[in-house]
Amino acid sequence: MNDLRYWVGFNIVRGIGPTRLRALLDYFGGAERAWHAPAGELHQAGLDHRSLENLLAVRSGVDLDRELEQIAATGAQVLTWESPGYPRLLREIPAPPPVLYVKGTLTEEDAWAVAVVGTRRASAYGREVTRRLTTTLARSGITIVSGLARGIDAEAHRAALKAGGRTIAVLGCGIDRVYPPEHRKLATEIIAQGAVISNYPLGTPPEGGNFPPRNRIISGLGLGVLVTEAGKRSGALITADYAAEQGRDVFAVPGSIMMHGSAGTNALIQEGAKLVLGPEDILEELNLTMVAEQMEARQVLPADETEAALLAHLSAEPTHVDELRQQVELPIAQVTSTLALMELKGMVRQVGGMKYVVAREPGVEYVVD
């Protein structure tokens, strides 16, 4: 992406968030034109005085090519709204972060994700519950999303890793930092078996105000949020609130009414969160009971001549189902039903408007005779 540097530049500017950046992109038609636009035009596009001053200061003081080099030096890649690899679930929330810095890998299977969060002051009960639930979810093919914090977050990440599953950590600081610092080894393990991501520019310290917006990304990356243990003032409840606003399911584990650490989860249940007594409560509610089987199905070869014929006419470029029908010379009902099965297997992907693309995974080849 030729204008990636300008996305990174705008992400450095204080006061230009998703809404203002969208307005600029719509007004100027692209990030590069918006970045180089005269001050008067930027003001006409809707930038207030302070945001405009901040932009002009960054524009004159930051070498964007050097910024990209520094990002690459950390081992991170940059994803934007325009990147094919931008997480699908996160893209669906209102005003998703325009830029993500990613260490590790994000995959299409990460759309089968559940966020697991809770108190930093986890009790023995909270840790054990988190381990048990997360282990089963990870073994079922569910990606575990959390915030790398002390307590419940760390337990969730570790349980997912130990179970051989995928996990994603969302930082409240720059991707070049790890907070808390004692979780550096854990972050390295997560990168090898998932991803560590941040929407904050390089060098951003872990300030308190960064974490509520970070929690919005945690909830946005999952189909639902599970709170295993939380007091009434726990930041995990902010994540649950964001989940509800985003239309995600909220799950909570009950605890003793005598325990301060369970006051938040008990209150969530009282307010309508789904009570969790076992992992099946989450898997069934989110219709995720067949994820492991679906992931296994991704490795199969074309099952018959129809699948092979459709694959032969598909590529990374979207092809309409009517065009496919003409190319393979088969009834439309047979084509659409086969495509539906192939999508379940992960062999193809519908990209809207009844158009399909092939969905090859790295290291997986579909043999067409």
For residue 230, give the CATH number of its domain. 3.40.50.450
Q: CATH number, domain at 21? A: 1.10.150
Provide the 3-class DSSP secondary structure of residue 143.
strand
Residue 268 shares a structural domain with residue 320: no
d(CA 173, CA 201): 8
Residue 62 pLDDT exceeds 60: yes
Range of 224's domain?
108-291
Residue 180 pLDDT exceeds 80: yes
Residue 296 pLDDT exceeds 90: no
> Is 102 a member of any domain?
no
Residue 271: is it exposed, middle or buried by C-beta count within 10 angstroms (0-12/13-18/19+)? exposed
Residue 321: is it exposed, middle or buried by C-beta count within 10 angstroms (0-12/13-18/19+)? middle
> Poorest-confidence range of 109-113, 160-164, 277-281, 356-360?
356-360
Q: Which residues contact 327 (CB under 8 A, 6 or more apart)?
A: 313
> Is 122 a member of any domain?
yes
Total domains, the chain = 3
Q: Tell me what percent of the residues of the chain surpass a pLDDT of 90.
A: 80
Q: Which one of 18, 51, 70 terminates a domain?
A: 70
- Reported pTM: 0.79
3-state helix, strand, coil in the chain (%, to 5): 50, 15, 40
Give 369 or 297, the one with higher predicted confidence.
Answer: 297
Q: Which one of 70, 93, 123 terminates a domain?
A: 70
Over residues 302-323, the mean pLDDT reads 85
Q: Tell me what percent of the residues of the chain surpass a pLDDT of 70.
A: 93
Quote the tokens at residue 324.
């496919």
Residue 352 pLDDT exceeds 90: no
> Is 30 a member of any domain?
yes
